[in-house]
Structure 1
């Protein structure tokens, strides 16, 4: 018997044969969701053929008895053998469907250990063919011979391949109907590869996890019963809500329209509702109705900021009363490194309702390695609700559009784009293919007029406001209202204004003093929720001022008497306005636009470009307010803003790579890889015959949703302190998985520069041999969250 894994506790061995059967079965189930059952099964059956050698058998036994010796890890190539079997037997043909199918399968198998490899790299070198023809440390003949002895299904492999070819042919026909262009066809072929890769990676990791932990696979939930139960609970809850005021009645109209729209077939739709229009519950009502009607697997909420997850998850859990079926996935707390045992803990997105960020969603589709991609297949036959879709990074737009077209048309996912400020995604070079009659709320313009609760007032000055003069403006505004929200563009500005307001507050007579709050992305979700809860209890009863970065401006259910927004994109300003007079407490409240002296946004390109386009709209509004329906927040104003913004940035939408490769785009790397194709042809004097040319590895390692990489770290706030100790103590993988899930509430995402800064001053500690990071005590404060100042030199030993 050749051994695949050894349980560290029981010393029980799992044979390669057992592992391959389990993985192929699971992989087949995942592939079958988009009619690729045979293809995914074949990949599963062959992915670990390379473990059928004496050398690997010796290695696995040595590693089990010497767990601290990591020197041999990754030294034996066990992932090429199965790929070469397909390559040798099926790739060399004139039949394009057979050749394409063979490359798809071989590529998924040979890449399953470290992530999808480049087919052609940036220099036009054929990495795929090189990998298939490698001869060092490979032991292919031995692996194949032993595989044949242990498996009697060799004919079954041929039959599976023939079925697989027909499956792929049918999928490509569907792809061609979505968009007949070669560019989209090649991109979709890459998505198909990633989907198959997702099936085998998740099956492989999950089967290994179950064996190593001595667990049984989770029982599948009857989704039909679940959706009916949840829909009934939601309907009862909605009936109990007040419907007395104008805003209440308008929200109910939106909610009913969403429920009725749930009867429409799978597609790509828009939910354009003014801020404060009750999007979260209305979209949930839609989702449950649609899931019931069309037997959907999951509901995803994809959210731009982790702060909105905090509130939306709490709202949904409170209403549905089923915390057990809802997953909040803020960040990856396990680093994607060589430590195989911790890779088993990567979040799978297998809960019925998943709330996660746009960063995690895009990483799942486009990042390299094996960590994020394992989740992709769970997007199939789901409802994916994008909350505040306008926050999508401009560089990702064409990749996002094409991926969504693939997910909807090939993976049967229903897509809902939610926002008060719909970007023009169907007008780009690679347009989003909206369904016929895509608007869930048909009388959008009328609804925006009915929901009007604020006046947007341009208060920019020639010099701009200093922190001190902004403080004066805030206090002057507080003479007319009981609460003010100030939203600025940078954490430093927020801190400066917060300190000015704290000082000024101390000098005021007691009757004019206010509660002053500060919100920052340097705070963990649990901390932010505590501050928001405290603020809500005081609003309407005490004088309140809150200073925040943009994290509060989308999706946070809170209402102030007035708001002040530092100049930004008009979409951001509209979102900020949604935190003012949210429930129609007064007839109309004032929201002010200000410009802040010294607020440097040169490195915040999205904000800087948004500011320029907003300036144009503000100046045009002064000249001719009638053309914007006398309202800076009208759909006409927003449409004009997006026309400027998308026109100015259209060249960026394919994701230009960083220097020295800024003549190439990520979209091209993941589709035709034209430059590399031409380089190959020039060097060799003939054309590459590869069907898939994508530079998957290069694209994956260069892909960043935001321009700086971030790392999820656990902070010593509240229960976070205990979790840090528990995680770094003696715990098995099951316990660690539970601790990490809970730690999402006590984590922050650090930019690479901030992480390095903290490392230099001893503010970060590595847990589990550096697979997980935590902030040390003394580097986290109640006012600001993570801090780099006044940290003590003596630390707790975690």
Structure 2
């Protein structure tokens, strides 16, 4: 036990060093398994069926010592460490649950632990830079507690993993290089890739100018940045070039690139691998990481399909990033300490959900304020997150003045005008099919998978050629093939009529002559416009984006609210895509919402009072859901690569995390009740369920999946469960 405690201590301290909390993390490592110093634990190891809350002993010990400390900071840090220790198996608790566990009777500890473990609580005060608003103090402490928890659970996992690997004579499946050791090579690869980019069109010249300007800003001190470049202006390469140069200038340890949706991560991942190589990029967006509280010990934790983000370049989603920042489970929190001293690029930052905007802003601010990170808000339609625009003076918003990386965003927008927006009014599916019949190449974007499938079928009944359906019903590897076919058809001038959900908008490189977009918010309409005349090779007056109303398929409630805001803004401006119109739109959507931007009062669930730190970690994790759909994964193992990954489950030396990583491109998200039905009917089964529980739900061979339509799980009993995914 003492060897594991010391190993965990050393790793936890190392992980916390970038944000100067190494002493607190070391104490957490020393005491996290203190409860195992008792006869009951030895009996459990010998096979006795005994339930033992071994985590509470260390939490109680550190709290008791903290209560006797003379320094207020030492007392509060002791409480933060106690939360981390108490949660290192079952997850960070709410204070009420935690306090109840502290009052329960506990087995007496063998006094020998005091000879093996020495704890010094003095001088634990963190170097936190306080937020200007005193209302943020409790949130800042809660954030620090979660980062300490991350250090502890990752250290605990890694030391345990190493022990069993040595015992089995096997090696850990992944050893990532340090970013600092390879930055020279990555920058050379980046420059070589740029040298191969051909074309001297006005759009390409503008992209090169943007990239040069952005890279020149890399010497700017770390912190918050904005990168406001219209769709098609080269944001992806510009932000990557900045991240590489900025990390080299300031000794930052990682590049984390977060994009809005799993459905569009594939293209960006391929760009990164083409530029940087396959062996430095971790693509992590999988939902195959279910974790439930367990009283089992040690090796049980090795059965979780989790990632630690130790890679030099991490590509993930906003959902994975932000839900982890507010999570309480070890599987989600394990990676968080790797965000310290990182360059974090938030692509399409305007997609952050409004009901959670204030907590998201608070997390972004804290990462840059106290954890040495640089965060780039990278978008074509920069949301008004500047604190100068928010009302109330309560500290909401970010200090963005003077932190723009792009050269004159208003001028860029004027130079990159490539489309005309037209309002088509009410359009039925028959109207849309008639429009597609008149235009052999066109893109229709609707607000739900249900509508996309119905429209695709109707267009098929009309006999339209070149008809293609793109939806999150399809797994990512299939979507890549579909998009490759779309690009080939567009390039050759063949008929190409694509019907898609909004997954096609953000980050998908397509260039259609005509686009029809179901009513949505202005940011989505602007993204749809980015799929029309993307390279600027057609006359603007012939490149029409038609915004239409689909009365039989109304948008979801949250989108309907944005539609109204767009309508009020559009009445004031001839062109809704000019910067002034965008500012009006975001002014209404963001600035006037006030407390509605923290729908669940997340920040208020962290309190500091005379009794100590009353934090509701578990409740916050439940409330902070960026996609309120409750979808669950189903693995579509039709291809050999997916089948091979499934066969590797349970093989010694192959971690479930590695298998989950290989299966990311073969997952479809569906409603939980739908998956339960498929399980009951034998269409889905949990692979190696006795070992991995419900982590790997695999579709069995049959007739439910087709490339053109994806996974059709519905029947008449639960069609109403269909939900749109963005």
* 1:410 alignment counterpart: 370
The alignment partner of 2:7 has SS state of helix
Write the mapping of 1:43-192 to structure 2, written as runs, cut at 5 A.
43-62=28-47, 72=50, 75-93=51-69, 95-119=71-95, 121=96, 127-135=97-105, 138-139=106-107, 141-143=108-110, 145-149=111-115, 151=116, 153-154=117-118, 157-158=119-120, 161-164=121-124, 166=125, 168=126, 170-171=127-128, 174=129, 176=130, 179-192=131-144
* 1:471 alignment counterpart: 433
The alignment partner of 1:437 has SS state of coil
Offset at residue 786 of structure 1 (A): 1.3
The alignment partner of 1:323 has SS state of coil
* 2:275 alignment counterpart: 319
Offset at residue 54 of structure 1 (A): 2.1
**Bigger shift: 757-766 or 407-416?**
757-766
Q: Distance in 1 between matches of 2:479 and 2:253?
A: 31
* 1:634 alignment counterpart: 578
The alignment partner of 2:713 has SS state of coil
Question: Contact 1:565/1:573 (CA < 8 Å) preserved in 2?
Answer: yes
* 1:502 alignment counterpart: 460
Alignment equivalent of 2:442, drawn from 470, 474, 484? 484
5+ residue gaps in structure 2? 295-299, 717-726
The alignment partner of 1:324 has SS state of coil
The alignment partner of 1:62 has SS state of coil
Question: Contact 2:223/2:374 (CA < 8 Å) preserved in 1?
Answer: yes
5+ residue gaps in structure 1? 1-15, 64-70, 122-126, 507-513, 626-630, 657-664, 674-687, 792-798
Q: Distance in 1 between matches of 2:180 and 2:24?
A: 28
Q: Distance in 2 between matches of 1:775 and 1:183?
A: 49
Question: Contact 1:655/1:667 (CA < 8 Å) preserved in 2?
Answer: no
TM-score (norm: length of structure 1): 0.84
Offset at residue 292 of structure 1 (A): 1.0
Change (3 A) 1:751 1:269: farther
* 1:493 alignment counterpart: 451
Q: Distance in 2 between matches of 1:207 and 1:534?
A: 47
Q: Distance in 2 between matches of 1:297 and 1:93?
A: 35
Do residues 272 (structure 1) and 248 (structure 2) align? no
Q: Distance in 2 between matches of 1:732 and 1:248?
A: 50
Write the mapping of 1:541-556 to structure 2, written as runs, cut at 5 A.
541=492, 542-556=494-508
Change (3 A) 1:332 1:263: same
Superposed CA RMSD = 2.1
Offset at residue 756 of structure 1 (A): 3.9
Question: Contact 2:290/2:304 (CA < 8 Å) preserved in 1?
Answer: no
* 1:787 alignment counterpart: 712
Offset at residue 501 of structure 1 (A): 1.5
* 1:66 alignment counterpart: none
* 1:335 alignment counterpart: 290
The alignment partner of 2:316 has SS state of strand
Offset at residue 565 of structure 1 (A): 0.4
* 2:633 alignment counterpart: 712
**Bigger shift: 44-53 or 90-99?**
90-99
* 2:721 alignment counterpart: none
Change (3 A) 1:450 1:346: same
Q: Distance in 1 between matches of 2:644 and 2:657?
A: 12
What are the superposed Cα offsets for residues 237-292 of structure 1, whole Å, 9 maximum, x if unpaired?
Answer: 11221241100100001111111111111010110000001111111111111111
Question: Contact 1:337/1:771 (CA < 8 Å) preserved in 2?
Answer: no
Q: Distance in 2 between matches of 1:533 and 1:420?
A: 24
Q: Distance in 2 between matches of 1:303 and 1:433?
A: 20
Q: Distance in 2 between matches of 1:56 and 1:699?
A: 32
The alignment partner of 2:469 has SS state of strand
Q: Distance in 2 between matches of 1:701 and 1:343?
A: 23
What are the superposed Cα offsets for residues 653-698 of structure 1, whole Å, 9 maximum, x if unpaired?
Answer: 1132xxxxxxxx22211x238xxxxxxxxxxxxxx63331111122
Question: Contact 2:357/2:597 (CA < 8 Å) preserved in 1?
Answer: yes
Write the mapping of 1:332-371 to structure 2, written as runs, cut at 5 A.
332-338=287-293, 340-371=300-331
Change (3 A) 1:300 1:409: same
Question: Contact 1:342/1:771 (CA < 8 Å) preserved in 2?
Answer: no
* 1:9 alignment counterpart: none
* 1:21 alignment counterpart: 6
Offset at residue 391 of structure 1 (A): 0.8
* 1:662 alignment counterpart: none
What are the superposed Cα offsets for residues 460-481 of structure 1, whole Å, 9 maximum, x if unpaired?
Answer: 1xxx2221121112223x0xxx
Question: Contact 1:714/1:774 (CA < 8 Å) preserved in 2?
Answer: yes
Change (3 A) 1:338 1:213: farther
* 1:425 alignment counterpart: 385
* 1:661 alignment counterpart: none
Question: Contact 1:202/1:348 (CA < 8 Å) preserved in 2?
Answer: yes
Q: Distance in 1 between matches of 2:366 and 2:191?
A: 33
Change (3 A) 1:90 1:738: closer
Change (3 A) 1:222 1:731: closer
Offset at residue 55 of structure 1 (A): 1.5
Change (3 A) 1:296 1:724: closer
The alignment partner of 1:301 has SS state of strand
Write the mapping of 1:170-569 to structure 2, written as runs, cut at 5 A.
170-171=127-128, 174=129, 176=130, 179-214=131-166, 221-320=177-276, 322-338=277-293, 340-426=300-386, 427-428=389-390, 430-460=395-425, 464-476=426-438, 478=439, 482-505=440-463, 514-541=465-492, 542-569=494-521
Question: Contact 1:566/1:595 (CA < 8 Å) preserved in 2?
Answer: yes
The alignment partner of 2:491 has SS state of coil
What are the superposed Cα offsets for residues 754-774 of structure 1, whole Å, 9 maximum, x if unpaired?
Answer: 434534544321123233212
* 2:719 alignment counterpart: none
Q: Distance in 2 between matches of 1:771 and 1:57?
A: 30
* 1:679 alignment counterpart: none
Question: Contact 1:714/1:720 (CA < 8 Å) preserved in 2?
Answer: no
Q: Distance in 2 between matches of 1:577 and 1:644?
A: 22
Q: Distance in 2 between matches of 1:724 and 1:502?
A: 35
Q: Distance in 1 between matches of 2:123 and 2:230?
A: 50
The alignment partner of 1:616 has SS state of helix
Offset at residue 334 of structure 1 (A): 2.7
Offset at residue 753 of structure 1 (A): 4.4
* 2:546 alignment counterpart: 592
**Bigger shift: 448-457 or 535-544?**
535-544
Offset at residue 378 of structure 1 (A): 0.6
Offset at residue 528 of structure 1 (A): 0.4
